[in-house]
Amino acid sequence: MEYDYYPTKRHFDNHNRIFGGKIWCIQDICGIICAVMTWMLIAYAEFVVMKVIILPCPYPLYRYINMIIFNCGIFLAVSSHLKSMFSDPGAVPKGNATKENIQNMGFREGEVIFKCPKCSSIKPNRAHHCSVCKRCILKMDHHCPWINNCVGERNQKYFVLFCCYIALTSVHALFLCVNQFAMCIKHEWKECSTFSPPATVVLLLFLIFEALLFAVFTIIMLGTQLNAIWNDETGIEQLKKEEARWVKKSRWKSIEAVFGRFSILWMSPFNQPNIKSKMESCLYPV
């Protein structure tokens, strides 16, 4: 069930924030290592594609078109990853289940207010507690170590875009690698790369393995996320097979709840969708 909250003033919560509370960041060593590994693998793909495949290419049109497309994909993927990682996923303030807060909440007679025993917060409908973030997260889908953050109501768009752009970039990298192998074999490994043939083979094979792994993983995650959004049901709710105690949105409204009103900005990691819900108001306790 959902409740209406009527806050009278805002209280800033610095937990899981850095730089004086300006940036959301989970200080989890495992998640930080996974995030850094992601950046390193993306940097490796950029290095091999540019230094081994694109720059040595003797065909200007092929070189410039693929350079622009690949680097745009990398830029959007990294931007989406950073937004997913450093955006508040919809954390309910810790310890806001005080008597004063509860007295200032509007709720119908006979309804129950749930309190999380782990973070002592008022627990809205469809919120779940994350043991890594140590917070209750609105519409929590799952905690992803690769972005060192939860995927929740306020950053799901960025995570979907991250999966989408990594998948597209990985498929593009696979195409470039296969085409480079064909060209090198055709010219008997003469002037097909600035590196020696053995080094070129090793670099390309590792990139093929990386791109294939990333493509499969992100396509599966993208399909899972889109299915959850389409059905207005989070990953945790599907896993636990929770009975829907909320009024499910239509499929289009469910998509708009994540991405905002339909526009080209759906594909931009720099556009914050205007998310409005009854649950969101509990982010600012009295």
CB 126 within 8 A of CB 234: yes
Residue from 144, 150, 164, 192 carrying the catalytic annotation: 144
Residue 116 is among the residues annotated as catalytic for this protein: no
Alpha-carbon torsion (242, 91, 227, 277), positive or negative: positive
Four-point Cα dihedral 51, 54, 58, 63, nearest 10: -150
Cα separation values, 259 from 24, 95, 221, 222, 262, Å: 20, 30, 17, 14, 8
State which amino acid sits at residue 21.
Answer: G
**Hey, what are 123's tokens?**
């627990």
Tokens 């850095």 correspond to what residue?
18
Could you report how far apart the first and last alpha carbons of the chain are, in Å? 21
CB 279 within 8 A of CB 138: yes
Q: Which residues are catalytic?
A: 144
